[in-house]
Chains A and B, each alone.
Chain A
């Protein structure tokens, strides 16, 4: 069962390009977490959002709870953005469960 679907699975972009990563989920949620995993393996929190839009530097995350969809945008992409981006909706039947997508692997070429 795949409660979370991310697209694309892999993405290669030229430096400076605008990037969009999509996340769709099938469970009811109260919030959604975007995570970044660098090649070294560490996982870092980018955003936690429950409605609308959040912006942090060149990163923008949006969510539509009713449509069960979230997007992560990177403006003016840079090689240091190369990482795996993971979508993690929070909620579900128990109301306190995290679900995890398999991630989108992004490579930004100079």
Chain B
């Protein structure tokens, strides 16, 4: 099992450009999450998907959109990147509501100039 995979690992964008971060898990987990991690701050939830076909906003959703394409895949889209979106992005998944443990992907380091 690969666990949770993310692509790309690194990306540099210019202000105003768009891109999609991809996330996939092969553990048959129901819930998937997108977080951003900034220096001096804890992980912050951008969006999550409790199950296939549902998505909900987290703490910092502005400037982002998500798609739960199927049970395996959960993508994060930046429609018009801004320097404030420079961050490390982590995707995570969790099996069922009574299993609290999250499994994280390796992260995507995004720089917006």
Q: Is the CB of B43 within 8 A of A100?
A: yes
CA distance in complex: A74, B106 (Å): 24
CA distance in complex: A3, B106 (Å): 26
Taking the complex as formed, is A64 at the interface, i.e. its CB lies under 8 A from any CB of chain B?
no
Q: Is the CB of B101 within 8 A of A45?
A: yes
Main secondary structure of the interface of A (DSSP, over half): strand
Tally B residues with Cβ within 8 Å of A: 19
Which of B33, B42, B90, B97 is in CB contact (< 8 Å) with A4? B42
Q: Is the CB of B107 within 8 A of A42?
A: yes
Q: Is the CB of B104 within 8 A of A42?
A: yes
Contacts of A103 in B (CB 8 A): 42
B111 CB to closest chain A CB (Å) equals: 14
1/0 contact string of A49-68 vs chain B (CB within 8 Å): 01000000000000000000
Taking the complex as formed, is A30 at the interface, i.e. its CB lies under 8 A from any CB of chain B?
yes
Top 8 A-B residue pairs of the complex, sorted by shortest distance between their CB atoms: A100-B42, A43-B104, A100-B43, A48-B101, A31-B100, A102-B42, A41-B107, A90-B100
Q: Which residues of B contact A (CB under 8 A)?
A: 33, 40-45, 50, 88, 90, 97, 100-104, 106-107, 109
A-B contact pairs, 19 of them (CB 8 A): A30-B100, A33-B101, A35-B104, A41-B109, A42-B106, A42-B107, A43-B104, A45-B102, A45-B103, A86-B43, A88-B43, A88-B102, A90-B100, A96-B50, A98-B33, A98-B45, A99-B42, A100-B43, A103-B42
Q: Which residues of A contact B (CB under 8 A)?
A: 4, 30-31, 33, 35, 41-45, 48, 50, 86, 88, 90, 96-103
Interface contacts beyond A33-B102, A43-B107, A96-B97: sample of 11 additional A-B pairs, CB < 8 Å, sorted by A = A31-B100, A33-B100, A42-B104, A42-B107, A44-B104, A45-B102, A48-B100, A97-B45, A98-B43, A98-B102, A101-B42
